[in-house]
Amino acid sequence: MRISFKQIRIGKLLAVLKGAVILPIKANSVGRLGRIAGRLMIRNKGKLVIGANVSFHAKPFPSSISVDRQAKLWVGDNVFFNYGLDIGCTKSIRIGDNTIIGPMVNIIDTNFHPVDVEDQSFSKDIVICNNVWIGRGVLILPGITIGQNSVIAAGSVVTRNIPDNVLAGGAPARVIREIHVPKEWVRRYN
């Protein structure tokens, strides 16, 4: 099966049009050329800021973003979100520029429910720095910072901070090795 150049252009055009209609209604601030392909559910009761050239590829499975009252979700420029995304923001989540978020990724800044009566679970900030790649099926838990240029391997559960320029993976995620990323190199430009 071959896809023609015209089909690709029409698909991207439709995604840009859908983004131009939906994102300004749902977000507090949106950069230019936002794209939505598939079904993206956004519930924003706080502050949602989306940078320029951000792409939501929500098919074949839908994606969901929830921003609670007084919570803040910032998405940088040139960010790509794959299908099955689930973001639960109750306090603060920041996603840096040129980041790739793989399919079926969960990012939550709270546990939502205490484990027991002594559990003092509170929402904790999540920071995903610039030029990061989050692999398929990763779970990012509250209070995590993922350093610049790092890669999180598929299926990982991120329970502690990840430094800059490393490949991390596992459950719980740990540093596997350092990676070489030149200063001006960007992981993705949509």
Residue 183: the pLDDT is 85
* Catalytic annotation present for 57: no
Is residue 148 over pLDDT 80?
A: yes
User: Binning pLDDT at 50, 70 and 90, where does residue 187 land?
Assistant: confident
- Euclidean distance between CA atoms 163 and 178, whole angstroms: 9
From the list 124, 74, 128, the residue with the least C-alpha distance to 102 is: 128
Say if residues 73 and 93 touch (Cβ distance below 8 Å).
Answer: yes
The active-site residue, picked from 113, 177, 180, 183, is: 113
Residue 190: the pLDDT is 52
Six token digits for residue 111: 């546990």
SS3 state at 100 = strand
The 3-state DSSP composition of the chain as helix, strand, coil percent (nearest 5) reads 10, 35, 50
- What's the order of all strands across the beta sheet hosting 47-50? 29-30, 47-50, 72-75, 92-95, 126-128, 145-146
Is residue 5 over pLDDT 90?
A: no
Task: Specify the higher pLDDT residue, 92 or 24.
Answer: 92
Model pTM? 0.90
Residue 19: the pLDDT is 84
Residue 21: the pLDDT is 85
Is residue 1 over pLDDT 70?
A: no
